[in-house]
Every structure is written in C-alpha cells, then in structure tokens.
Structure 1
C-alpha cells in the first residue's frame, strides 16, 4: 500500500468525521476554547493531525464493524455471493508479483472499500450525535432517524457490493497467477 493512498483515505474519513466531532465539540463548549487559540500555525497543525488521527480511528472501528457484518452475511444469512468470492489464500503481494498494474488496481479497490467502511461508521456516529442533541419532540428528530437509518443501510449495501467486486477481482488475479 502506498503512503499517499493511506493518507488520503484517512483524511477523507477524518474529514467526514469532523461533522459529528464538531457537533460534539460545539455542544460541550470545547470548540469555543479552541477558537481562542491565537497561533494559527499551531491550530492548523493540530487540525490536520486531528483529522488524520480521527480518520485512522474511524477506519479501525469500521474494520471491526464490517468484519462482523461480513460474518453475519456469510454465516447467518448465508449470503453466498459474498462467500463465493471470499479468498484469504491470495495476497496483495502475489497480485503485485503477477503484474504491478494489477497490484495498483487492487490497491485502488482496497482504498475504495476502506472509504466505504469509514462512511458506514461516520453516518452511524453522525446520526447518533444528531439524535442526542436534537429535541425528541422536533420533526427533525424523526427525519434524522429515518434519513440516518436509510443512509446507514445504503452505505452497508455499497460496502458489500464493493467487497463482492474486489473479491471477484482478486479471484481472477489468483486464476491468472495459477496459470503462469
């Protein structure tokens, strides 16, 4: 995995996470204290590193969460399409050995998959934070619950589709590798 890909993935995931982190900081009063920092350079360095670290944390939470989803889909709901492309015996190193262009293609697919799993966690956390701060009597509470739930399941479906497509790609690479 190249460094640029990792940096971009974590910054995208962390940038999305800033929405719900900002809401928490604003409602707890921490944001007003951060705003009063005079040194803009230190504030910028803090912001950039925070976005990266939050993206890293969200990605790792997403990894464990999506592993649980994968387990449920394959073992409980018997989602055969995902099971048939699951292949843990073929590595990224083997794809690179086969062809460096195929390796780059696989990295791009993995990057897309990681951003999708980060989006699952971010939409879940954003929905929870919004519901926590919205009054329950508000119409927005109901709308947020519905829209958040729909988006959450939509992101899960997108992630499952990406996993399926990446699995097919990896299986095809393995078949090419075995032929050579």
Structure 2
C-alpha cells in the first residue's frame, strides 16, 4: 500500500513510544525514530535495536547534552525556573531541546510529520508541538494520545502492554525492562 509519508518520532524505547512506532506503521507511515541524549540513563544501543526490530526505517541518536546544559539548563537556573518553589524543570526544559533536534532530522530527511508519545496529563505535548511549529511551520504533528482512533484502542497501560506483547511475539523481540512498568520487576 501507498505510504502516507514519513514521520520522525521522538522515541525513548519505552512502552508508549514503542507502541506508537508500530501503530504509526499500521497507519501507513514510514517511521524514523529519533533518540535524544539529554543526560538520562538510557541504553541507546538497545533502544536503537528495538526501533529497527519494530520497523523503523532509520534511527537517529543525537547527543544533545552540551547544548541542553548550555542553552536550556543554565538559562533556566539563571531565571530561577522552579515550579512551586521545589521542582526543578529539567524534564520540561528537555522537551524543546529534543523537539529542536527532531525538527532538524525531519527537515534533513524530508519528513512531513513529527510525532511524540506525550500524554495529555502534563504540558509536554505543548512543549513539543510549539517548538516544532516555531521551527518548522509546515510540519504536521501526529499526537496519538489526542487521536480518538488511538486512545479508544489503548484505554490504559494494560492495553499497551497487551499490544506490546503482540508486537514482541510477531517480531520475535526479547523482553527488556523497557517493556515493563517503571520500577516493576521482570518475571
């Protein structure tokens, strides 16, 4: 069947973005996975292998630690960017940094779409999307957790886990801690 186009997915290798990668493929998109290293503890090689196993056309891993600290963290510290006098905004500040790298890859690869796994629980969707639109006004954003065809299919974590189980079995992918709930022990 005809491809709907290429989408660059902000990919972590975790449950949500792994399921989103497969779901985007099912919807007819070619998927490029984009992993950004902003200093988190991550097995980038394992995430890269998983993205390829799930059907990503390409995988880009970028080390953004230096620019994240210099262009986002230090200005945040200088501005005393603290939420409710106690929460540092590292994750919040990381989203625009990641989105900027994602847009760079989208332009470089001629992708018409970008996507992310941010849910509606916080403001991460907005941080990703406003950055993308500011830097690439013509981009189309696929925000699965705002699409009825996605959130009606995956009503919660259990549905995602079942889908991940199907994806693992159909693609012969080994189980890793990234498929489990955060902090949950593997059997």
> How high is the TM-score relative to the length of structure 2?
0.23
> How high is the TM-score relative to the length of structure 1?
0.23
Q: Which has the larger radius of gyration?
A: 1
Structure number with greater CO (CA < 8 Å, separation at least 6) is 1
- If each structure's helix is expressed as a fraction of its own residues, which one has the higher value? 1
